[in-house]
Amino acid sequence: MHISTKLSHLKNNPYQVFFSLDLWLLAIWGFLLLGVVSRLFVYLDCQNLWLDEAFLAKSIYHTPWGQILGKPLEWDQATPLGFLLITKGLGEMFGHGEMVLRFLPFCASVALLFVFWAITKELLTPKWQLVAMMIFVGSKTLVYYAAEFKQYEIEALCSAILLLAFIRGASFLRFLLLSAVVVLFSYGGVFLICGLGAGYIYRHRQNLPHFIKHNVLAALSFSVYFALLYFYYIAPQAVPGFKQWWGALAGFPPINPIELVRWLSAQFLPAIRDFALGGNIRALWLFVLLTLLGVLYIARIQRALVAGLVCFVAIYWLAGFMKLYGFAVPYNILGARLALFWQPLFVLCAACGIAWLYEKLAKSRLGGGRKYLSLCSDITLHR
């Protein structure tokens, strides 16, 4: 369309200025830039290593290459094998300074922004993509761990990559190959792999025997691969100190239903309040409600994804009840680190919940004005 024709069209339809596709995309790119700059600023600030970071750095660089497998790290430290190998290699090539140590988490934090946007584009229109990016970029925990010498930002990236592969309909074989890489960089990723694996079963439920026949060998191969990784690297690092530490901080959920409800309100939710925009506990309760509504929204588009997420949550909680994996604890911003890997899912569901709620309000009589605006927006976006 010629420029003069566009200007004439905008003059006759002024509302289009506020609902044009280009404007939404421009705003999204603006928040992406803000996210990159904020993470770069934290990374370049280059604070001295705090105690836990220093212990991890010393234990990695004091462990000879030949003693990495089958032996726990020193000072009650644990980190995924891939993170250890790359960090150790970077240190030997470029030195052991703070910027070298934190380079991998920083790169993961930047990549995470773009992977998460790719996820939102599969489920949401540009205006709701913008909402999701606003929440995601504003996460205090993601910004903090962008320059923390720990693997938690990488775990969040791994979760986002798995989620994107599933939503885009990657074959189960490709998903398993991707999962084989993920378990090298993320402890929590195995829960999401199992959950989304159940989602694949749900997706192919109409022809389940055929699906099992063509993928059973790949699933068994991945199981053997993960078992070797677990028994030769992960299990030796699970020293008693970890269970005692997280148990003392109420990092494991109680089995008693009444105590569990109290634990959720007093321990778990306050610990992850920084997942929500602003880090306010009241805002978190709102985001929890929006997350539940978002599950309903996603169920209309991808029921297999909802089935996978439900299985993921069930397996994740089961591991907590069995005291195999610690949960977040109300310990300032540091308390949410073990749960950081599922923040992309939390924000995605919350953004979908906002979209669902908006649609319901737009259709009601009380939301008549919003209905008009939504209609104008939809007309413009689909031109």
For the segment 29-49, what is each residue's pLDDT rounded down to a tens digit?
Answer: 999 999 999 999 999 987 788
Model-level pTM?
0.88
Domain boundaries, the chain: 16-381
The mean pLDDT of 262-287, rounded to a whole number, is: 82
Of the CA atoms within 13 Å of residue 354, those in its CB half-sphere come to 18
Between 230 and 330, the higher pLDDT residue = 230
**d(Cα 345, Cα 352) in Å, to the nearest integer?**
11
| pLDDT for 373 beyond 50 | no
* Average predicted confidence (pLDDT) for the chain: 86
The CB density around residue 165, as the number of other CB atoms within 10 Å, is 18
Question: Is the distance from CB of 191 to CB of 233 less than 8 angstroms?
Answer: no
| One-letter identity of residue 197 | G
Let me know if 200 is exposed, middle or buried by CB neighbors in 10 A (0-12, 13-18, 19+): buried
Range 228-252 average pLDDT: 84
Return phi, psi of residue 333, to 5°: -70, -20
The torsion angle over the Cα atoms of residues 298, 303, 306 and 308, rounded to 10 degrees, is: -150
Per-residue pLDDT, averaged over 108-121, amounts to: 97
Please return the burial class of 191, using the count of CB atoms within 10 Å of its CB with bins 0-12, 13-18 and 19+. Answer: buried
Bridge partners of 137, per DSSP, are none
Q: CA torsion sign, 147 to 264 to 355 to 302?
A: positive
**Higher-confidence residue: 380 or 271?**
271
Report helix angle 172-182 to 189-203, nearest 10. 180
Q: Which residues pair with 252 in a beta bridge?
A: none
Residue 9 confidence (pLDDT) above 90: no
DSSP-derived 3-state class of residue 333: strand
